[in-house]
Structure 1
Amino acid sequence: MLNPNWLGRLAAYHPDRPALWFRGAWLTYGELYRRARKAAGSLRALGVATGDRVGLLAWNHPAYLDLLFAGPLLGHILTPFNHRLSLSELKALHAYTEPKVLFFGEGFQEVAQALDPKALPLEALLEAEEAEEALAVGLEDPALLLFTGGTTGLPKGALLPYRQLLVNALETAFAWGLTREDRYILATPMFHAALNALATPLLYLGGQVVVEERFRPEEYLELVKAHRPTVLFLVPTMFQMLAETPGFPEADFSFVRFAISGGAPCPAPVREAFRKRGVRFKQGYGLTECGVNCFAFELEEAEAYPESVGRPMPHLWARLVREDGKEAGVGEAGELWLSGNVVMKGYFRRPEENEKVFVWDGERLWLRTGDLAYRDAEGRYYIVGRRKEMFISGGENVYPVEVERVLYDHPAVKEAAVVGVPDPRWGEVGAAFLALRTPLGEEELKAFLRERLAGYKVPKHLIFLEELPKSGPGKVHKEALKRLWKERYGQA
């Protein structure tokens, strides 16, 4: 049986081995576990019991791991909040999840106490005596409550059990070829998937994690120089920002074994910028509801097929299902369904949403991801976008990701996102929102696209912005772009 309290075991194996770097100092595995036991003791003193949610509103900080690793000793559910949300949005999420206690980091006291007048600073987490090591959870008990993207309406909270965290860590370590000698800089938001994307798999192996409180490209390059990470893990917008940082051309990446781009397809020009610096790239794919690392690739094959996310993890099953419910054939797009021990328990207090995403076929439970994908004859999978983002123009399916990839091939394009908008003749057409590096005429760009895409795929509308809006995890916020279109042109 898997052990939810694996950090306690590792702290006994190598208590003095460096585990986590933060604000200029390393925490060893022994120190990290002592912090977890103190956090469990502090929570117990505050009346927190099994099943209670414990909220956290902070920049990246060891407190996320303190609360996560204290979970097996007490049974609470870590519930991190997206600090980029408005106060009204946070109030709605706080009312939805009802945390027993809310902790806040530097700069968030006013917001946190507007949510809960009794909210406590992070320092209160480590005030009590260390809790005993008795296990308070089973593998099916929830460890994390993570919110989905929330681009439409109130985000849903996905309940992730200890079973999911452990299997994801094991599969990621195995399929990505990680070792205890690996080190990475955690710069993506810990309120989202950063906790279980690479941090817990590396810590599970005895590796090292460097925490950057807030992603700043110049600081990240300094951390690369100081700590020599062997693996890079960022979302495409972060990789792009690094590539555009003045110090990037001189930065030493010789110690990096590979980089993984998560959250969205990484534009080819960005991958090429890192390739010139000797960094080899893989494209990742995952979602909050199903672990976070769902596919794997050997590095050589990943470089040969850069648009692919690879093949399903060893203990994950995948299907592609057409609109008519039949299996999609080779090269044919269908909705991606996943099944395995990394699938969530369900959405917190949302039974109606669970009915929409779970399908039982008599042999196994499937999660409908809402993503469209296809596979080639060799079994490699390619993500073509969200099902709800696909639009039909003149009877033809248009996948925005395909168009965006071509837009990024133009050297003047810095950021690109395509959405379907109403059209009286064609039903729907593409509207491309763009941020540019250098001036570019609309007709010049359309001519570039016509050489590379079928006519119906070329966006009818081009809208130029200084910067595209982003969601909490750093993805382009397409619902915000649709609202912008509606405001400007009076159409949904």
Structure 2
Amino acid sequence: MELNANWLSRLAAYHPERPAVYWRGAWLSYAALYRRAQRAAASLAGLGVTRGERAAVLGPNHLGYLELYFAAPLLGFIPTLINHRLSEAELKGLLEYTRPKTLFYTEDFAAIAQRLHPQAYPLEALQTLPEGSLPDFAPSLEDPALLLFTGGTTGLPKGALIPHRQLLVNAMQTCMSWGLTPEDRYIVATPMFHAALNALATPLLYLGGQVLLQEKFDPAEYLAWVSTHQVSLLFLVPTMYQMLAQHPHFAQADLRTVRWAISGGAPCPHPVRAAFRAKGVRFKQGYGLTECGVNCFTQDLEEAESYPESVGRPMPHLWARLVGADGLEAPAEGELWLSGPVVMSGYFERPAETAKALVVHQGRTWLRTGDLAQRDAAGRYYIVGRAKEMFISGGENVYPIEIERVLYDHPAVLECAVLGVPDARWGEVGLAAVVLKTPISEEELKGFLRARLAGYKVPRHFLFISELPKSGPGKILKSELYRRFTEESHA
């Protein structure tokens, strides 16, 4: 089987003047975007970057991400996208791990980038560096197209090698199963160093649609763009949807052009979904992960609204199974395993970690996601949390996500996270970290939960804080909450 990894060249020929990307107040056409990708490839060739070498990026969303992304099939290098929110020591560790030939940065990261790498350049230099000649190169489907880091919250993140086949199949499946059209528009507001390139940007550009790049998420600007540019699709993480719903401009925002919104990274709380539904925006729940990039399930809007906690059914070219703690097939609940052409090649220079994540079973390679899932009689899947987040209290399994959903139903709760902490009597009990909208006591919240949950599920401890710690992609850092609780307990 042969597919064209350099597909942007075809779209630039099909409709050269069609708008492709909105960047800093102006639209770039498909032809202009491809010319910039060609120029970026020539600049990298001039720096001596060759096939298989890494070119790293450090900074918030920028047109340069797309320039490198589409330059990769022309030269064979691997764009290596780094979380700019990490500390300098963490960034140093990632660069030592991946050893990029060069590092490109946005203006606000100039100083740190120049300290970390001897060949560091601003992203704008991709269009101005001395040109080298491009080789006669055609990538295979298994050649790495991206190096993306896992969203791990402890230790050095692992670099997932994303082959061209993953990007192409994900784009095709998303266009088909999510019902995308060339008239759709979407704002890239989630970090481009994470899954934003794969989620909707690549599928829409593959189809001839339009994407708008927001450098840093700004709720007021985002709401204004939806109206001004007639945006039709929303893709954000729950925290960002919540920021939009709470913004003073939300009540007057014109969202009539939005066909649907999808929440990634974690389930979107019911009150937030309800706020958007009141403005006519219909919601889906998405599920994906870096290693299986990145849209793994699909459902139509009617089913999504009837089963709001479900992520739907596997994409057409993806297989799913549930596996119990004993390693055997589980009929209704277990660890989610996924298999198909959208699974990564492996972790960069981490053979032991790759062997743990990718398991061969009955002649098929499966990705162990580490997520616990349930499957109902109709084949719909529900993500109930990370396997490592489930805790056992007095012999009973407790899933934090179930408690979090109930907490979000309380009008005083703005944000929350639940995790297990050690307990001398019960082994583990729940800790609820809560950000409040309005004052409420711990006992009032416990009473609210007792009326809706089994007693063993009600958290024993509450931590009221002003803000939940989050990673770059917006995921709540429960390890940090655990650390904070244990430090306060022993103080």
Output the TM-score relative to the length of structure 2: 0.98
2:238 to 236, 239, 243: 236
The one-letter code of the counterpart of 1:358 is L
3-state SS of the aligned residue for 2:377? coil
The one-letter code of the counterpart of 1:184 is Y
| Match of residue 262 from structure 2 | 260
| Match of residue 289 from structure 1 | 291
Distance 2:429 2:83 in 1: 33
Distance 1:118 1:129 in 2: 16
- More displaced 10-residue stretch of structure 1: 479-488 or 194-203: 479-488
Indicate yes or no: 2:338 matched with 1:323.
no
Indicate yes or no: 2:183 matched with 1:181.
yes
Distance 2:322 2:250 in 1: 40
The Cα of 1:362 is off from its aligned counterpart by 3.2
Distance 1:450 1:150 in 2: 33
The Cα of 1:135 is off from its aligned counterpart by 3.7
The unaligned stretches of length 5 or more in structure 2 are none
The Cα of 1:134 is off from its aligned counterpart by 4.3
Alignment size in residue pairs: 489
Contact 2:431-2:462 within 8 A present in 1 as well: yes
3-state SS of the aligned residue for 1:67? helix
3-state SS of the aligned residue for 2:107? coil
Contact 1:61-1:211 within 8 A present in 2 as well: yes
The Cα of 1:136 is off from its aligned counterpart by 3.3
The one-letter code of the counterpart of 1:212 is Q
Aligned positions of 1:102-121 closer than 5 A: 102-121=103-122
| 1:168-224 per-position Cα deviation (integer Å, ceiling 9, x unaligned) | 000011110001010001100001000111000000000000110000111111111
The Cα of 1:133 is off from its aligned counterpart by 8.7
Contact 1:37-1:130 within 8 A present in 2 as well: no
| 1:291-347 per-position Cα deviation (integer Å, ceiling 9, x unaligned) | 1100000110000000000000000000000001121123xx200000000000000
| Match of residue 421 from structure 2 | 421
| Match of residue 363 from structure 2 | 363
The Cα of 1:226 is off from its aligned counterpart by 1.3
Distance 2:273 2:201 in 1: 23
| Match of residue 448 from structure 1 | 448
The Cα of 1:131 is off from its aligned counterpart by 5.9
Q: 1:170/1:130 Cα in 2 relative to 1: closer, same or farther (>3 Å)?
A: farther
| Match of residue 28 from structure 2 | 27
Q: 1:88/1:132 Cα in 2 relative to 1: closer, same or farther (>3 Å)?
A: closer
The one-letter code of the counterpart of 2:279 is R
Contact 1:358-1:366 within 8 A present in 2 as well: yes
| Match of residue 19 from structure 2 | 18
Alpha-carbon RMSD across the aligned residues, in angstroms, is 1.1
| Match of residue 86 from structure 1 | 87
| Match of residue 459 from structure 1 | 459
Output the TM-score relative to the length of structure 1: 0.98
The Cα of 1:490 is off from its aligned counterpart by 3.2
Q: 1:113/1:129 Cα in 2 relative to 1: closer, same or farther (>3 Å)?
A: closer
Distance 2:73 2:490 in 1: 52
1:204 to 195, 203, 206: 206
Distance 1:175 1:252 in 2: 27
Indicate yes or no: 2:43 matched with 1:3.
no
3-state SS of the aligned residue for 1:109? helix
3-state SS of the aligned residue for 2:221? helix
2:193 to 191, 194, 202: 191
| Match of residue 350 from structure 1 | 350
Identity of aligned residues (%): 68
The one-letter code of the counterpart of 1:298 is D
Aligned positions of 1:389-400 closer than 5 A: 389-400=389-400
Distance 1:105 1:43 in 2: 17
3-state SS of the aligned residue for 2:354? helix
Instruction: After the TM superposition, list the runs of 4 or more consecutive aligned residues in structure 1 that deviate by more than 2 angstroms.
Output: 128-136
Distance 1:286 1:65 in 2: 21
| Match of residue 381 from structure 2 | 381
Distance 1:19 1:133 in 2: 27
Distance 2:478 2:115 in 1: 29
| 1:428-457 per-position Cα deviation (integer Å, ceiling 9, x unaligned) | 000000000000111111000001110000
3-state SS of the aligned residue for 2:108? coil
Indicate yes or no: 2:224 matched with 1:222.
yes
Distance 1:252 1:427 in 2: 51
Q: 1:468/1:362 Cα in 2 relative to 1: closer, same or farther (>3 Å)?
A: same
The one-letter code of the counterpart of 2:434 is L
